[in-house]
Amino acid sequence: MTMDAKRRKVHDKLAALPGVRPVRRPISPGGDEHFDLYYVRTGRKSAHPLVIIPGGPGVASLRLYQGLRRRAAAAGLDVIMIEHRGVGMSRHDDSGADLPPQALTVEQVVDDVAAVLDDAHVDQAIVYGTSYGTYIAAGLGVRHPGRVRAMVLDSPLLSHDDIGVVRDAIRGLFLNGDNPLAPKVRRLVDAGVMTASAGQIAATVYGHGGTDLLDRQLDLLLDGRIMLWRSLSRFTTMVSREAPYRYEIDLVSRIAFRELDYAAQPDGLPLDPAVAARETLPTGPGLDAAFEAEPYDLIAELPKFTWPTVVVSGGRDLVTPPAVAQRVASLLPDAVLLTLPTVAHSALDFREPAALAIARAVCRDDIAGLPSQAQALDALPARAPLRLLWKAIDMAVAAEGALPVCQRRRRLSSA
């Protein structure tokens, strides 16, 4: 995806936004060639800005999070966001060609964060990472500990062994749980309906709609009513597609697979998220690279962190389940574990008001008071577009349930 006229037009428009700056970075360690890595700073400048690192890899920062930065600035936050190397504004070398494979490693991404702080004349920052961004945030703590004043790890990753915890959480709820969901999911698994990828859709419905919404959706499937389910499947496929300057995983997939083991070895059991990752992630050259090694041993490194850290965990998160966040918090010497019972994966993306409230508390050195506010933070609603989306899905479940279904399909429910 080299720089062409269409991309150049978008690139130049984004580069002209207030607060956007390039910083020259080496394409590979020790090399002579450099490229422009872009970042943006919004809000009234402070001594210790909030560096927000989104999930991914592949998620762009400059275009996708314009609204969040605007709302954060209105809330009094000084925010820096960096366009990840190999993505969007930071995708190309000076000739307009894509960055080469050797340019794309976690350690170089981490060093990019430190370089941006240098360019912005910031000695120490408050670092907010979500999902994959927590690994980069932790990496900054490992390689550049003097640059961190405080940290928020939202839906954190710990190691490639997290896959075992994810499997246990999904199967514990959907297959073995003492709840109305498990017997229904088991019947759907036996019928070949609830595949590994379908299990991820179920996890999303559960995360944002809770047990009740998923229970009603499972009843529809057992009755052979699949219209809404097909729509959800198509929507999931659509949002995982590449979109220029929003989501570009093709180059940075090396990080996801080689260093973080996003497509782990399947274990042969039902509802394996590793199988789902292999089925749903984009395919192509480099996108099926085998896992090699993690860049950091965070289990050994986290106990060395000396700054206060808030670990945010969604009670309904089946991507990085609460057990991972609990382990992360237990390893950190100065951590507060903040559990939000009705939140799914990534408060930053799906409960933005709560995420910004947490960030404000950290910026004003009020971390100790956060646990007492957990219930109030959990009650803060998602932004209107997300609320409307899940309200529409809830209504669609009710509407499809009112439609007639043929007797042949009804057999699954009574089997």
The continuous run of DSSP H or E covering 4 comes out as: none
pLDDT for 114 equals 99
The continuous run of DSSP H or E covering 37 comes out as: strand 34-42
Percentage of the chain beyond pLDDT 90 is: 84
- pLDDT tens for each residue of 240-264: 778 899 999 999 999 999 999 998 9
Average pLDDT on 79-107 reads 97
> Strands, E, within 131-261: which ranges?
148-154
Is there a cis peptide before residue 101, judged by omega within 30 degrees of 0? no
Exposure string for 260-272, b = 16+ CB within 10 A, e = fewer = bbbbbeeeeebbb
pLDDT for 414 equals 41
pLDDT(376) > 70: yes
pLDDT(169) > 60: yes
Average pLDDT on 145-166 reads 98
Q: Where does the pLDDT of residue 352 fall: very low under 50, low under 70, confident under 90, or very high at 90 and above? A: very high
CA dist 86 and 92 (Å) reads: 7
The 8 Å CB, 24+ separation contacts for 293-296 are 293/259, 294/159, 294/160, 294/259, 294/260, 294/261, 295/105, 295/106, 295/107, 295/139, 295/259, 296/106, 296/135, 296/138, 296/139, 296/142
CA dist 215 and 370 (Å) reads: 33
Average pLDDT, the chain: 93
pLDDT for 287 equals 56
Reduced to 3 states, what is the DSSP secondary structure of residue 374? helix
pLDDT for 415 equals 39
Show the tokens assigned to 22.
């390039």
HSE-up of residue 33 (Cα within 13 Å, Cβ side): 11
pLDDT(285) > 80: no
pLDDT(156) > 90: yes
- pLDDT tens for each residue of 2-55: 888 899 999 999 999 999 999 999 999 988 999 999 999 999 999 999 999 999
Average pLDDT on 385-391 reads 90
User: DSSP states of 301-322 as a string?
Assistant: HGGG--S-EEEEEETT-SSS-H
Q: Where does the pLDDT of residue 403 fall: very low under 50, low under 70, confident under 90, or very high at 90 and above? A: confident
pLDDT(317) > 90: yes
pLDDT(283) > 60: no
pLDDT for 284 equals 57
Contacts of 370 (CB under 8 A, 6+ apart): 310, 336, 338, 358, 361, 377
pTM: 0.94
Task: Answer whether 178's CB lies under 8 Å from 363's CB.
Answer: no
Q: Where does the pLDDT of residue 187 fall: very low under 50, low under 70, confident under 90, or very high at 90 and above? A: very high
Specify the domain boundaries for CATH 3.40.50.1820 within the chain.
5-159+294-381
Average pLDDT on 305-315 reads 98
Reduced to 3 states, what is the DSSP secondary structure of residue 164? helix
Q: Name the residue with higher pLDDT: 219 or 407.
A: 219
pLDDT for 408 equals 41
Q: Which residue has the tokens 């799906």?
A: 350
pLDDT for 413 equals 44
CA dist 207 and 174 (Å) reads: 13
Which CATH topology does 5-159+294-381 take?
Rossmann fold (3.40.50)
Show the tokens assigned to 272.
């394996």
